Amino acid sequence: MSTPSLSRAFRPVLLAAALLTLAPAAQAQHTIGPNHPADQLAPSFHKQRRELVRQALPAGSAAVVFAAPVRNRANDVDFVYHQNPDLYYLTGYQEPNSLLVLFKEPQTVNGQTGVTEMLFVDPRNPQREQWTGHRLGAEGARQQLGLQFAADNNAFATSGIKWSDFKTVLFAELPADVRDDDRDPSDLFNLVASFRQQAAVPTDFNPQQAELYTTIQRYGVANAANLRPYLENLIKQNPGVAQDAYVQAYLKATTDADRQKAIANRPVARFDASTLNDVLGDLRAVKTPEEIALLRRAVRISAVGQQEVMKATRPDMGEMEVQGLHEYVYKKYGAEFEGYPSIVGAGNNACVLHYITNDKPQVKNDLLLMDCGAEYHGYTADVTRTIPPSGKFSPAQRQIYDIVLAAQEAGFAACRPGAEFQAPHKAAQKVIADGLLKLGIIQKPEDVRTYFPHGTSHYLGLDVHDRGNYGPLQAGNVITVEPGIYIPEGSPCDKKWWNIGVRIEDDVLITSAGSENLSREAPRTVAEIEALMAKPSALDDFKLPALR
């Protein structure tokens, strides 16, 4: 999935309404019990992650992580629930209306001593569970997830946490766009409100300000040349930033010594909305062996999907049908979801970076870009291939494709531990600029962004654009390498290039010795793709009756 350039109702009536009041807002991603996946992350993994976060917290602090909100699809129907990846990473818990509290030092809470972690969860309710499945409840969270302390979420308001005793209270994000279910006094809306009231979070607290301060601290000296124009542009977009004394003090500094002095005078704040982001970014960017195993599975499923679709695709197919073939393969191999909405675009649609409508009735002979990724036990792949539905690239299509392929090879070569995160992008961008100049599509190298407007790499994991610090590459990082060229109709170049969109994307594990392409099973070269597309597909004889 292409990377942004770096710079994120009515209620039913009568009987139906009465019945649905028994149901919780959304069903969990996985049920607990005999059908629980055997290869899912173990409680020991999540416990280790919690301990690593605690070790990184400042003295005298507490950290809070909330569940993701439930999202409504239409009327009384919600989308399948997807947990906040941070909360899942730290607990394995996959149900809504919950929050995790971590303490740097052990606390005494309601008479229990030595408490370092508390998870507040949706309570058990047999009537509701008849509708949407088993809930863990507090006892299940303790027994099955290994949480030291767990309680129903309706106990949070009276939990006995002495928030005023902490020097710093950290959180990654406070959910804001949350529905208030008046049938549930302990839903996420009320949990957030209760936390803000108990911890005395100021109503005018601005998490973006804290993030901005952290950016200045991190890059204010080492990358001052780029940070200054960024801040100046930010001030134009948000004049309120111009009034911030800390920002102004930094901008007035003219030497590194002055900048360092300005940075050191960051205002002391009791509430911190940036440090926990940094801690989680550092941890989640480096995958453990357990995580790499799940990513390998997700990526292999996605690569096989690309193989099978290459064999099955014909010009008379529609984009939606091709999408369905990918997603059928995912389900066949046990992937629960897609990691993001599948992008299947032919011709000019392939030039829309995040095109997800996928409704062109026939792909015909236009190049078909397929950016699809299976999500397996929470971890998502991200694999893109571009193919000619006829089975053969035209000369113009092949010329553009070969430039992108060469750019990707250059990106692969730059994937090594210690390299700056942008190294694959810089290498790929140069190849594409040189190639477009040679074809006369651009007139100067800086025009390359007209046809290659996105970054080449992003982290991959529990999110398709996963958390990470974007520092030097290190062993255990899993990143994408995905150069592309997109020439939509009406572009200022020869018409023979119009409606050609090409992206080739692979998922790369950084190793101590270099890198490994996890998605290498999906053909990439023109010869490999054309040879595979000439082979029969298991779906060739799959015929559905005509609808009348």
Tell me the three-class secondary structure of 280-300, residue by residue: HHHHHHCCCHHHHHHHHHHHH
DSSP code of residue 505: B
Q: How many CA atoms lie within 13 A of 271 on its CB side?
A: 20
What confidence score (pLDDT) does residue 488 get? Answer: 98
- The pLDDT assigned to 538 comes to 86
pLDDT in tens, 315-345: 999 999 999 999 999 999 999 999 999 999 9
Beta pairing partners, 61: 168
* Pick from 545, 353, 351: nearest CA to 458: 353
**Beta bridge mates, 150:** 119
Q: What backbone torsions phi and psi does residue 141 show, to the nearest 5 degrees?
A: -65, -40
| Angstrom distances, CA of residue 38 to CA of 49, 89, 284, 332, 461 | 20, 17, 22, 17, 20
Handedness of CA 89, 91, 92, 95 (dihedral sign): negative
Length of the chain: 548
- Nearest residue to 356 (alpha-carbon basis) of 383, 319, 317, 315: 319
Q: Say if residues 329 and 358 touch (Cβ distance below 8 Å).
A: no
Instruction: Map residue 480 onto helix, strand or coil.
Output: strand
Residues 18 and 24: beta-carbon distance below 8 Å: no
pTM above 0.85, yes or no: yes
Cα separation, 524 vs 159, in Å, equals 56
Widest pairwise Cα distance in the chain: 78
Are the CB atoms for 102 and 86 separated by under 8 Å?
A: no
Cβ neighbours for 230, distance < 8 A, ≥ 6 positions apart: 7
- Report the 10 Å Cβ neighbour count for 481: 28
Distance CA 539, CA 188 (A): 45
The first and second tokens of residue 32, run together, are: 């607990």
The token pair at 33 is: 């019990």
**Which residues, at least 6 apart from 141, have a Cβ–Cβ distance to it below 8 Å?**
91, 93, 119, 121, 147, 150
| Phi and psi based region of residue 302 (left: phi greater than 0; alpha: psi -120 to 50; beta: remaining) | alpha
- H helix count then E strand count, the chain: 17, 19
Please name which of 503, 180, 234 lies closest in space to residue 353, comparing C-alpha atoms: 503
The number of C-alpha atoms within 13 Å of 267 and in the hemisphere containing its C-beta is: 15
Residue pair 387/405 in contact (Cβ under 8 Å)? The answer is no
What pLDDT does residue 27 have? 54
pLDDT of residue 26: 55
pLDDT digits (tens, 9 = 90+) for 159-187: 999 999 999 999 988 988 899 988 899 99
Cα–Cα nearest to 304, from 354, 379, 372: 372
* Separation between Cα atoms, residue 485 and residue 439, nearest integer Å: 13
User: Which residues of the chain fall below pLDDT 70?
Assistant: 3-36
Per-residue pLDDT at 209: 81
Within a 10 A sphere around the Cβ of 130, how many other Cβ atoms? 10
What pLDDT sits at residue 285? 98
